[in-house]
Chains A and B, each alone.
Chain A
Amino acid sequence: MRQIDWDKPLSDDDIDWLRQAGIQRIEERIEENRQRFAPDEDELDDEADDETDEDEKDDGLEDMTRDQLKEMADDKDLTYSAKATKAELVELIRNSYPQ
């Protein structure tokens, strides 16, 4: 018989098998498992933040040269110091993203 580890989140296959097994009140147990292992709202927010951070890190600005960044800032009509470093230009451009 399929071994179900109720101390872990059920996989989709686990749920499909349990539903055809004809076990009484199995939907309640499946729902309990879902609720037990469902992430709370703070965790979801953290995950969303992590995803945003990842997006920022994956925007490719770090790989661009200072001149390319200055050109990009000009295209966006951003104001920057003529002595702005590459890091300052990256931060300036990222701050221009819609929140």
Chain B
Amino acid sequence: MKTSLWTPGNGLIDRVLPAGAFATTPRKGMELVNLAKLGIMPGLGGGRAHGTHVAGDVVTQTASGTDLNVVWRDFLDLLNAANSSRQALLRFLTFDVTNPTELVAQAGGGVDFERSTEFGEPVGARIQPTYFNLGYTFFWYDLAARYTWQYLADATDTMVNSVADAAVEAWLRLQVTEVLRTIFNNTNLGVNINQQAYVVYKFYNADGTVPPSYKTNTFDGTHTHYKTTGGAGANTNVLEATDLDVLVIDDFESHGYSISGGYRFVLMANKANSDTIRGFRSVVNGGTGRYDFLPAQGQPGQIMLQNQNIVGQVQAVPNTLDGLDVIGTYGPLIIVKDDYMPASHVLSFATGGSESLNNPVGFRQHAQTSLRGLRLVKGRNPDYPLIDSFWSVGFGTGIRQRGGGIVLQLASGTSYTPPTEYA
């Protein structure tokens, strides 16, 4: 036998020897090959080119020299960071829920004292807050991140990371879009949860639900928080101070939402409508509203007439509300500029603060903790999870506080139409 033949341990030639090609009995002109000595069992073929992959067989680094498993771990770190803190807009609009339905007490209602008599027993206080059985949607969303090994061989870290960044951005945008669609679309949704039909409600929308009464304020089943401003002529699509006074502030307060009750009122508008609000002045100050717009700290100042004095407490609010871009206040409303808002609508809501129980939208995630937030699901090869991996997230939304938000459409008509962006 020639010494150049492959034997276990010498590794000279990487050969594949089909088992059937070997003679098992001596023939003329042929050598009997001792397969056992060669380390090849009869009936089996192959050598180092076949069998289990090892690290040297595939691309393990990006073009810039970073181990792909390090990239994978970086993605998981990115996810942890992205999942640990929700966007400011969502923190103020939503409250996390995990159940498909909830009984939620609505603002209003209460108990009454009665006048005492000498021998009488006081009536028992039986608190009967109005509960609504509220449903939440739930959908899974996914996005595959498919890399070929050729791509990974030539891609730099930045190129690979950009795919992850895009996925995270898409997830953040998806959450905002779905929450705003829940808010702006005024039609209740029917969902089937575990073979049971539930209704995913919107803000009060004249669906026959009678809001709880508050003090002397009563409501009927036609009450709606989706309104048109009804302006005419040049004011058809223009937000006015009186819109906020009558259609927003009065309505919130009639339900019992108040600053003293722990709520803050936020009005969100796009840049154009925010700029309009900057010009709102009270009647005593030459305008048409009840209040004056006051710029937030750090916002551009405004020149006022010198003969006017401050009446009442003037306190400039910070120019950020836990990340939201605050331009100032109009009465009790904190004005937030955000171009997620459509030009044709403005949104007002009462919030109990960041991720407060009193926030208007329920953000439903899976009951299993491990299935919450954005997840990166491994690909088929456990040694190289990045290849064929995909991004997955499951969540749903529904209104929790039906009186906690008011949407104004800047239109002359008498019936509300959702904006095309969130219809």
Contact = CB atoms under 8 A, between A and B. Distances in A.
A2 B247 contact: no
Interface string A1-27: 111000000000100110111111000
B246 interface: yes
B241 to A, nearest CB: 9
B354 to A, nearest CB: 28
Given A1-B242, A1-B243, A22-B223, A17 B250 contact: no
Nearest to A23: B246
Interface string B228-244: 11111000000010110
B194 interface: no
Given A13-B414, A24-B254, A2 B231 contact: yes
A22 B414 contact: no
Contacts of A22: 223-225, 227, 247, 250-251, 254, 406
Contacts of B229: 1-2
B396 to A, nearest CB: 28
B262 to A, nearest CB: 22
B322 to A, nearest CB: 29
Contacts of B246: 1, 21, 23
B231 A20 contact: no
Interface in B199-223: 206, 217, 222-223
Contacts of B240: 1
Interface string A64-84: 000000000000000000000
B228 A24 contact: no
A17 B217 contact: no
B293 interface: no
A20 B254 contact: no
Interface in A1-59: 1-3, 13, 16-17, 19-24
Interface in B244-265: 246-247, 250-251, 254
B423 to A, nearest CB: 19
B330 interface: no
A23 B250 contact: yes
B415 interface: yes
A16 B416 CA distance: 12
Given A1-B240, A1-B246, A17-B414, A24 B217 contact: yes
A20 B250 CA distance: 14
Contacts of A1: 229-231, 240, 242-243, 246-247
A56 to B, nearest CB: 41
A20 B412 CA distance: 13
A20 B242 contact: no
Interface of A is mostly: loop
B231 A21 contact: no
A17 to B, nearest CB: 4
A20 B224 contact: yes
A22 to B, nearest CB: 4
A74 B416 CA distance: 64
Given A1-B243, A13-B414, A20 B251 contact: no
A21 B227 contact: yes
B328 to A, nearest CB: 21
A23 B224 CA distance: 10
A24 B252 CA distance: 11
Contacts of B226: 20
Contacts of A19: 222
B250 A24 contact: yes
Contacts of B254: 22, 24
A3 B227 CA distance: 15
Contact of A16 (B217, B243, B247, B414): B414
Nearest to B252: A22
Nearest to A4: B230
Contacts of B247: 1, 21-22
A17 B228 contact: yes
A60 B206 CA distance: 52
Given A22-B247, A24-B217, A3 B232 contact: yes
Contacts of B415: 16, 20
A2 B232 CA distance: 7
Contacts of B414: 13, 16-17, 20
A93 B246 CA distance: 62
Contact of A20 (B217, B227, B232, B243): B227
Interface of A: 1-3, 13, 16-17, 19-24
Interface of B: 206, 217, 222-232, 240, 242-243, 246-247, 250-251, 254, 406, 412, 414-416
